[in-house]
Structure 1
Amino acid sequence: MATIGVFDSGIGGLTVLNEALRQAPAHHYIYLADSVNAPYGEKSSEWVAQRSLDLCHWLAREGCQALVVACNTATAEAIAHIRNDMPAIPIIGVEPGIKPAVHQSNNQKIGVLATQNTLKSDKFNALLKSLQGDCEFISQAGLGLVPLIEEGKIDAPETEALLREHLSVMQTAGIDTLVLGCTHYPFLLPLIRKILGNDIQIVDTSAAVIKQLTRKLEEFELLQSPPPRTIRLYSTLDADHLHQLAKQLIPTALEQHGVETSTVFIS
C-alpha cells in the first residue's frame, strides 16, 4: 500500500485523515499540522502558496507517494502551483462542496462558511459563478473559529457565541443547506446543529476527497507492497498537543494503527 501525506494548517485535516482511515485503512499515513502558522485563512496568497509547496516537498522527502492538501485555503491558493512543481506525485485537494449543495438544496438558499482567503480566492469565485443559476449563496468568513478549534475549545461558550454570530446572517436569509468550507469546521457540527437545528443539510466533502485519492492511487499503481499500518503525526508547534487532540477528536480511527508523534521545524 502507499505512504500518503496529509497536511493542513493545523488540526482541521484530521477530519480528512479520519475519513481516509475509514475508507482506506491499510495505507501508511503521515499527517503534518503546520500549527505554528495557523490559521492560513488570514495570510497572504503568496505566503500560503509558497508554504504549502514547502510542506509538500517535506512530505515527499519523508517518503510520501501521494499527497492530500487537507486545507481549503491551501487548495485555493496553491494546488495548481504544487501540481505543476510536483507532476510525478498525485496531489488531491479539498474545496467547498458547492456543487453537491446546489443539488441538495430545496429552497436554493445555501450558506458557505469558510476562511477569508478561500472566499476571496479566484478558484472559489470561479466555481461560484459557474453554478450561480437560481441559487442564492450566503458566504461568511469564520474569523476566529480556527484558533479556538486549534486550542481544543470545540464546545466552549466563546466558540458557540462566535459561531452564532457567523451563522446569524444565514439564519436570517433562511438557508436550508450549509457548506463547511474549512476542514476544521466539521468538528463544530454538534454546535452547528444546536444553532441551526437538524433540518439544515450540512455538506462536508471529506468522503469525496478520499474517493478521489483512491482513484489516483489506482491510476498511479500505488496499491502494492503494504507497509505496517502506522500513522505518524507531525506538528510544527507541539506534537503532544496534536496527538492529544487526535485521540479526542478521531479516537476510533486511531485504534487500529500504531501512532508515532514528533515536533518538526520546517523552514
Structure 2
Amino acid sequence: MERDRPIGVFDSGVGGLSILRALRAELPGEDFVYFSDAGHAPYGEKGEDFVSDRSLAIAVDLLEAHRIKALVVACNTATAAAVHLLRAQHTHLPVVGVEPALKPAAALTKTGRVGVLATRGTLSSAKFQTLRASLAGQAEFVLVPCDGLAAAIEADDRAQVEALCRAYTRFDGDVDTVVLGCTHYPFATEVFVDLLGPEIELVETGEPVARQTGRLLETQDLLRPEGGGHVQWRTTGDEQALRSAAARWLGL
C-alpha cells in the first residue's frame, strides 16, 4: 500500500537528523529514508545552482530506489534554493521544506531584536529575503552568517564548535531571542545556552516541520498509523560517520 512507503528526508550532512528526530517523535508509525549528501557538503557555502541540482538528483534517487511517499527537505539552504523546483517537478509528491523560524521568533521577542544564525547561502537567498520582508516592522533581525559552524558540528569538533559559537553570538544590544537557522545548529544547543545564558530564547524548526508533514500526509490519506519506526541510511560520504552521528544524537 502507498501509505506503507517510507518518507524521504535529506540534508547536506547530519544536520537534518534534528528534523528526523522531530519527525520520528511526531509520526512514530512511519518509516524513513535519511539521505546525507556529505560527499557534496557543505551546501551553505556553495552556489544556488549546485544546491538545486543536487536536490533534484536526490529526490529522483529516493523516488526510484525507495518509492518514497513524501519528501522532507531537512536543510535550510536546499529549501531556499530548490523546494519550488521540487514541487514543480514532482507534483504528485508532498514536499515539505524548512526555513529559519523568524515568524515564531518575532512573536516571542520582548525587546524586538532577534538574532538569526544561519549559513551564508540561506541568508542571501531570495526566499529568505522574502520571508524577512514579510515580517517588516514586527522585529529587527540581526543576521549572522555562520561560516564553518555546520562543518564543525558535522565533524563533532567540540573545540571548534565552541569557538565558532562564541564568535557568532557576540550580539550588540538587547537581543533576547535567537533563531537557529540551520538544521545542524540544534546539536550545539548546549553550547549556545552556556554562551548566551538560559534567559535567551532559542528557536528551531524541527517540531513545526514534523507537524506540517503529518498534516500533509493526513490530507492525502497517506498516514501510516502503526508499524514503522524503521530508518534506512543513505550517504554520498562516510557511512560510518553517519551511523555514529545517528547513534550520538538520536540513540539509533
Q: Report the TM-score range of the alignment, normalised by the length of the smaller protein.
A: over 0.9
Superposed CA RMSD in Å reads 1.3
Amino acid at match of 1:165: A
Say whether residues 1:90 and 2:104 are aligned partners.
no
The one of 76, 82, 99 equivalent to 1:78 is 82
For 1:176-195, what aligned pairs fall within 5 Å after superposition?
176-195=176-195
SS in structure 1 at match of 2:33 = strand
Q: Which runs of 4 or more aligned residues in structure 1 lie more than 6 Å from their structure 2 counterparts after TM superposition? A: none
The TM-score, its normalising length taken from structure 2, stands at 0.95
- Equivalent residue for 2:247? 247
CA shift in 2, pair 1:130/1:175, >3 Å: same
SS in structure 1 at match of 2:49 = helix
- Equivalent residue for 1:208? 208
Long gaps (5+) in structure 2: none
Q: In terms of mean alpha carbon deviation, does 218-227 or 116-125 score higher?
A: 218-227
The one of 117, 123, 127 equivalent to 1:119 is 123
Instruction: Give the superposition deviation at 1:223.
Output: 2.3
Aligned 8 A contact 1:2 1:226 in 2:
no
In the alignment, the residues of structure 1 paired with residue 225 and residue 98 of structure 2 have an alpha-carbon distance, to the nearest angstrom, of 28
For 1:142-221, what aligned pairs fall within 5 Å after superposition?
142-153=146-157, 156-168=158-170, 170=171, 172-221=172-221
Long gaps (5+) in structure 1: 255-267
Instruction: Give the superposition deviation at 1:227.
Output: 5.9
Instruction: Give the superposition deviation at 1:2.
Output: 4.1
SS in structure 1 at match of 2:42 = coil
Say whether residues 1:17 and 2:20 are aligned partners.
yes
Amino acid at match of 1:198: P
Aligned length: 248
SS in structure 1 at match of 2:14 = coil
In the alignment, the residues of structure 2 paired with residue 232 and residue 13 of structure 1 have an alpha-carbon distance, to the nearest angstrom, of 14
Q: In terms of mean alpha carbon deviation, does 34-43 or 156-165 score higher?
A: 156-165
SS in structure 2 at match of 1:12 = coil
Post-superposition CA distance 1:51-92 (Å, at most 9, x none): 111111111112111000000000001000110000000000
Say whether residues 1:43 and 2:40 are aligned partners.
no
Instruction: Give the superposition deviation at 1:163.
Output: 1.2
Q: In terms of mean alpha carbon deviation, does 134-143 or 4-13 score higher?
A: 134-143
Q: In terms of mean alpha carbon deviation, does 78-87 or 159-168 score higher?
A: 159-168
SS in structure 1 at match of 2:34 = strand
The one of 28, 32, 47 equivalent to 2:31 is 28
Say whether residues 1:56 and 2:59 are aligned partners.
yes
